[in-house]
Amino acid sequence: MPESSRRVTLGRVAGVFGVKGWVKVVSNTRPVDNLLKYPQWWLGADEGYLATLIDAKAQVNGIIAQVSGRDGQPITDRDIAARLVGRDISVDRSELPPAAPGSYYWADLIGMRVVSKENEALGTVTAMMENGVQDVLVLNDGTVERLIPFVQGPIILSVDIDARRIVADWSPDY
């Protein structure tokens, strides 16, 4: 998929809310309600569709939202809303604002090659996760999976988005 049309997952439909077609949403954005800045969401992958955000409310445990169906009309039926449960919510990468200097979208780091400061291959970023303290790169070199804290400065020495390369103060033996 070309960079301009690549989708970035920002959340998922986690359940239904009430009887009027609203859904519970888990947001992966920081802060959580940043997801509400996007008026249209792709719901699902290949079989998905572009839904319009009709109404939404941030709550203590996440977000509740009413979205449109494939026909563009608001979903007002709980059973129809239930069919959306489990679907990812994504937006086109081009819709995201530029990352602040020194900050990166996880989606942009996935697929990057990671090397040690001695230029030893450590693997390719296959995923990102949080451990409660910092973000963590999940790398795979074909045989070994590595977890490297994404701490810029002491561990992550450089990130070159254009070259798709990260240099880390990390040894293949760790």
Spatial distance between the Cα atoms of 33 and 85, rounded to a whole number of angstroms: 19
Residue 58 burial by Cβ neighbours in a 10 Å radius (0-12, 13-18, 19+)? middle
CA dihedral sign, ordered 99, 103, 104, 105: negative
Instruction: Quickly count: other Cβ atoms within 10 Å of residue 18's Cβ.
Output: 12
The whole-number pLDDT of residue 47 equals 78
The two tokens of residue 22 are: 């609203």
Cβ atoms 85, 125 nearer than 8 A: no
| The overall pTM is greater than 0.85 | no
**Domain pair 3-94 / 106-168, same fold:** no
Tokens 């939202």 appear where? 65
The whole-number pLDDT of residue 41 equals 97
The pLDDT tens digits along the chain (174 residues) read 334 458 999 999 999 999 999 999 999 888 889 999 999 999 998 778 999 999 999 988 889 999 999 999 999 999 999 999 999 999 999 999 998 898 999 989 999 999 999 999 999 999 999 888 899 999 999 999 999 999 999 999 999 999 999 999 999 988
Give the CATH H-level superfamily of domain 3-94: RimM (2.40.30.60)
The whole-number pLDDT of residue 2 equals 39
The whole-number pLDDT of residue 61 equals 80
For the chain, domain boundaries = 3-94, 106-168
Fold annotation for 106-168: SH3 type barrels. (2.30.30)
The whole-number pLDDT of residue 4 equals 42
